[in-house]
Structure 1
Amino acid sequence: MHQFTYASQLNELNDEHLLELFQQGNTHAFEELYKRFWGVLYLQAYRILEQEQDAQDVVQEVFTTLWTKAAGISLSGSLAAYLYVATRNRVLNLLASKRTYQGHLSSLKQFISGTENTSLQYITEKEITARIEREIHALPVKMREVFELSRKTALTHKEIAHKLQLSQETVKKQISNAIRTLRHKMAHFSFFL
Structure 2
Amino acid sequence: MNDRRLESLDDLAPLAGNVLEELKAQGKMIATAESCTGGLICAALTEIAGSSVAVDRGFITYSNEAKTELIGVPAGLITREGAVSKEVAIAMAEGALERSNGDISVSVTGIAGPGGGSEHKPVGTVHIAVAATGEPTQHFHCWFADHGRQFIRLETVKTALASVLNALKDAKSH
Same fold at TM > 0.5: no
Q: Larger RCO: Structure 1 or Structure 2 (Cα < 8 Å, ≥ 6 residues apart)?
A: 2
The TM-score normalised by the length of structure 1 is 0.23
Greater strand fraction, Structure 1 or Structure 2: 2
Greater helix fraction, Structure 1 or Structure 2: 1
